[in-house]
Amino acid sequence: MLSKNHSENCFGFCHDCDRVHSLPTGNAIELAQELLRDFEKFKRLDFINDESQADPQFGFDQLFPGDRGHMFGILECENESGEQKILRAFSSLAGGIRKVPGWVSSMLDPKIFAEQVFPGQQKIKAMTAEMNGHGRETSAGAAIFEERKQFSQNLMREIHDFYEFTNFRGETRPLRDIFLKPDSIPGGVGECCAPKLLNHAAKNGLKPLGLAEFYWGGPNSSGRKQPGEFFSCCEDKCQPILGFMLCGVD
Ligand SMILES: [Zn+2]
Ligand SMILES: [Zn+2]
């Protein structure tokens, strides 16, 4: 849930300044509501393109079949001339979709994702299927379980090495140097909307004014996320990097 105190929506502790940096929601909630109206109207992610140019893989019926849903984010910024710029992002999508017209791309280089990350993820899926086929209790199943654990730990370390973050003082650092607890970095750091949006803004000379993240689609399986509901930046993956990322903003 979004904090009642909207100034605490997006924040993190910065080691360099020895204090918390934060970003309010600003106008981002209203902008997100406009975006939701576009979702209802167009029912596809590439709505900046004409209907005739629409790519079927970006249709909501393809991306979110059944009652699946997803996290989206909006960042209101201004450029050096004081003009408003609006950035949109989605959290990582299934099927390896990394780039959609009108949206901030994933932080990871698409080539690295395609050549190194995606095949690794597919291998883990295959190992899981194989393990379940044998049954976890059998010796073959247990052996695959161990093998999968090693493989996924190594893959995660490799993936972490690909991520670099830029802040609003123009500094760029690798994930391992900025995560507050570098020994316990969870999977998927940098794949949420907030880091994608802030990194893009920082690298393009845009000053962030407000950020909002919301869920859209069917109610999620645990029922904890309702379509159109706003959420604060997540505690496990984003807060530990937001102190560095927001440095220079406030
Ligand atoms: Zn997050
Ligand atoms: Zn700082």
Task: Please provide the average confidence, as pLDDT, over all residues in the chain.
Answer: 90
Q: Ligand 1 centroid vs 144 CA: distance in angstroms?
A: 31
Look at residue 8 and tell me whether its pLDDT is greater than 80: no
For the chain, what is the radius of gyration of the CA atoms?
19
pLDDT tens track for 101-143: 999 988 888 888 889 888 998 999 999 999 999 988 899 999 9
State the sign of the Cα–Cα–Cα–Cα dihedral 189, 191, 192, 196. positive
Distance 129 CA to ligand 1 centre (A): 28
Residue 101 alpha carbon to ligand 1 centre in Å: 22
Given this model, what pLDDT does residue 114 score? Answer: 87
Q: What mean pLDDT is predicted for residues 168-194?
A: 93
Contact yes or no for 219/67 (Cβ under 8 A): yes
Of 220 and 202, more confident: 202
pTM: 0.88
| pLDDT value, residue 2 | 62
Give distance in angstroms: CA of 213 to centre of ligand 2. 23
Around ion ligand 1, which residues have CB less than 5 A away?
A: 192, 234, 237-238
Pairing of strands 164-166, 172-174: antiparallel
Report CA(165)–ligand 2 centroid distance (Å).
14
Q: What is the pLDDT of residues 37-69, one digit of tens each?
A: 999 999 999 999 999 999 999 998 888 877 777
